Amino acid sequence: MNLSDLKKRVYVSLIVIVFLFLLIYFSSNLFVKIGVLFITVIVAAIALWEYAQFFISKKIKLSSKTMIVLSSALIISFFLPYRGECYSIFPIAVIFFSAVIFFLMRFNDISNAMIKIASEFFGMIYIAIPLSLMLIILYFTNVRQGIAQDGRYWILYLILVTKITDVGAYFIGRLFGKHKLAPLLSPKKTVEGAVAGLFCSVGLSFLISLLSKQGILIDFTLRLNEALFLGFFIGVLGQIGDLSESLFKRDALVKDSNKLPGLGGILDMIDSLLFTTPFLYFFLKLTASTPNL
């Protein structure tokens, strides 16, 4: 990436960061809450379209429209439990009927049916479920260690610790990297960069824990041992998520998942979060004092 492209990405990233911060800060507002759901659906739709494009080089045409519709329904179904416990069965129902629909679509088109069904269903699970869990984390209001939690802090924690891994790995890898991490997937990624990214994620997680311990972050509790644990696994999983999308791109013979100005693709932006989000959700689910997360 040349200097002009880097500057463009930095400027666009800053705009995205400011917009995202404002969206999270005002997320409790009813109209903003609807906007958050709508934006999540749009992000999923674009990411799924990009995912479907990977298969063009294999001469396999996935039904991106069906994937987008069903994934939108899945995201909404995950959001519905916050309107009442009776809706909690909806996500499982959507996943089940989505599988049925993917099969029905191939009854009159058996060419590469197994590959298409598996790829469409996987794409939905790969993208829609982690984005849905981000919504759940954002509106997480359960109790941890006797303190009611503010999900806004947790979603910011997730994004910051995940992305600092990418930033640390990129810059340290470019400056000092000598040993290739995964030359077949991403020739520019290095072991030195990966280690630096891991240190950054653990370090930032540790710093956030200190802020929590000092009472600076209200309605947010993160013990030092938890911070080290989460920082390590988020750092590792974030890089696995990055390399996993690189695997798709190399197989499809493309550099970026899209050509959005200053961004590349949506999948390029969220690839690491697709792996770190479920892990943080599991952590919050297991450590919450009440079971309705």
Question: Per-domain residue ranges for the chain?
Answer: 28-138, 141-293
pLDDT value of residue 33: 92
Low-confidence ranges of the chain (pLDDT < 70): 1-6, 81-87, 262, 290-293
- On the CB side of 169, CA atoms within 13 Å amount to 28
With residue 144 as reference, give the H or E element that holds it.
strand 143-144
Residue with tokens 């890898």: 173
Q: How far is CA 34 from CA 30, 74, 117, 148, 215, in A?
A: 6, 16, 31, 23, 31
pLDDT value of residue 81: 63
pLDDT value of residue 77: 92
Best CA proximity match to 173, nearest among 193, 196, 197: 193
- For the full predicted model, state whether its pTM sits above 0.85: yes
